[in-house]
Amino acid sequence: MRIRKHPGRAVRLLAVTAVGALLATVAACGGGGSGEDGNVTIRFDYWGSAERAKATNDAIALFEQANPGIKVESSFSDFGGYFQKLATQVAGGSAPDVLQMDYSYVREYADRGVLAQLDSGEAQVQTSGLSQQLLSGGSVDSKLFAIPIAQNTQMFSYDAAQWEKVGATEPTDTWKWSDLQAAAQKVTDGTGKKVYGLNDFGGVLDWFEVWLRQQGKQLYTEDGKLGYTEADVTAWWKLSDSWRTSGAVTPAEITTKIDGTQENDPVAQKKSSATFGYDSGFTPKLWEQYGRELTATSFPTDTGKRGQFAKPAMMLSIAQRSDNKKAAAKLVDFLIHDTSAGTALGMSRGLPADEKVRELVGATLQGPPKAAYEYEQKVLATLDTAPPPPPKGAGEVKVAFQRVYDDVIFGRATVEASATKFISEAQRAISS
């Protein structure tokens, strides 16, 4: 999972700037209104595809049927466009009553007073059926500002048939990083470098975070500081760099093209046999798109700590300035906890966060989503609590981690010099 280098960063900076500069001018709620007959109209905005929109509209229709006094107007766009539009809406006092929220933005919007508290007051939403592991990802300073509607976790996925063909040893529940390196090298050597063992993982901050947690450290401290040192970055990049040098992972010219799209994914192109990812990436047509099946398993570890955690895939928040917080809270509650809504939404946002809804939907799954569900059920008890939402500037840190790592894989700088450069950029990003 590599980041799209320039567009995502630009979009994020624009959104943050717009909110920060204009929030103080917000004068009124721009959500729906209350009619003289007591009926209310609320707005719900989210990011997603046409497929997700259809599922959402079906769920909203069920909500309106169960709550005849509440009408819901909804709209959707792509991820970047959504947060650009949201920043403008917030600045202009026209934020939707209910808004889909991403884990990486919770702290920024909560700190700026945009989000209503969801564990008390008018906007309170019940949280039964949701694990505390997951809820912590929507909490800032012990107050809940976003509730997960779906969850995922980190995984390692590989082409088991190809591994067997070249004699690579299959992962076990106790496998170590050296076991993965040996297996990956087998694939690369066994295919004459036509297929590399796995995608180079060194430039992905998310996988560095899992490794850090295996060492008993964290990406960010509770007060939003870096939870690791230059020495940690050096150790991680030396690990991946040695694998690249031996050919166990993809070479620089392939790695640098990885941007999260299927057309640049070495696994999809059959240039790599494995990768780290999130289980929500096991979408319904994945096997068909890859032309083969992948097997999901946990990360290797040398410490006995797995380092993986239950991550909110998507969350729902309510605008602090909404005039209809109670109606908005009813909609959030319905979308997360109601079984009929869960059936309508299916896997459109990932595995449902509510336990009973997840079991109901899980029983209906086939193909890759079923494999993701079974994997998550297997590892659920071993997952850590989600860390608090990252600080402002965390998105820039993620981009810098990938960009500076390119200097390592192309030999433009030593690992040590690159780690020094990255730490400097990261500290500047979260302190600005």
Which two three-digit tokens encode residue 292? 């083969």
Mean pLDDT along residues 156-164: 98
Q: Which of 84, 81, 102, 90 is nearest to 31 (CA)?
A: 90
pLDDT score for 17: 41
pLDDT score for 37: 65
Which pLDDT band holds residue 160 (cuts at 50, 70, 90)?
very high
Which pLDDT band holds residue 393 (cuts at 50, 70, 90)?
confident
pLDDT > 70? residue 3: no
pLDDT score for 36: 55
Q: What percent of the chain has pLDDT over 70?
A: 91
| Secondary structure in 3-state letters for 107-165 | HHHHHCCCECCCCCCCCCCCCCCCCHHHHHHHEECCEECCEEEEEECEEEEECHHHHHH
**H-run or E-run covering 343:** helix 339-345
> For 92-127, how does the pLDDT look when each residue is reduced to its tens digit (9 = 90+)?
999 999 999 998 889 989 998 999 999 999 999 999
pLDDT > 80? residue 46: yes
**H-run or E-run covering 202:** none
Q: How far apart are CA 248 and CA 240, in angstroms?
A: 9
- For residue 392, the number of C-alpha atoms closer than 13 Å in the C-beta half-sphere is 13
Tell me how far apart the terminal alpha carbons of the chain are, to the nearest angstrom. Answer: 26
User: CB–CB of 197/273 below 8 Å?
Assistant: yes
Q: Which of 342, 352, 391 is nearest to 373 (CA)?
A: 352
CA angle 57, 60, 61 (to 5 degrees): 85
pLDDT score for 103: 87
User: CB–CB of 269/262 below 8 Å?
Assistant: no
pLDDT score for 16: 41
Q: What percent of the chain has pLDDT over 90?
A: 72
Which two three-digit tokens encode residue 250? 């993809």
Strand order through the sheet with 154-158: 274-278, 154-158, 295-297
Mean pLDDT along residues 182-211: 97
Residues near 72 by beta carbon (within 8 Å), at least 6 away in sequence = 41, 42, 43, 44, 60, 63, 64, 331
pLDDT score for 428: 96
User: CB–CB of 317/101 below 8 Å?
Assistant: yes
pLDDT score for 11: 39
User: CB–CB of 70/42 below 8 Å?
Assistant: yes
Which pLDDT band holds residue 350 (cuts at 50, 70, 90)?
confident
Which pLDDT band holds residue 250 (cuts at 50, 70, 90)?
very high
Mean pLDDT along residues 283-293: 88
Mean pLDDT rounded to a whole number for the chain: 89
Mean pLDDT along residues 186-213: 97
pLDDT > 90? residue 80: no
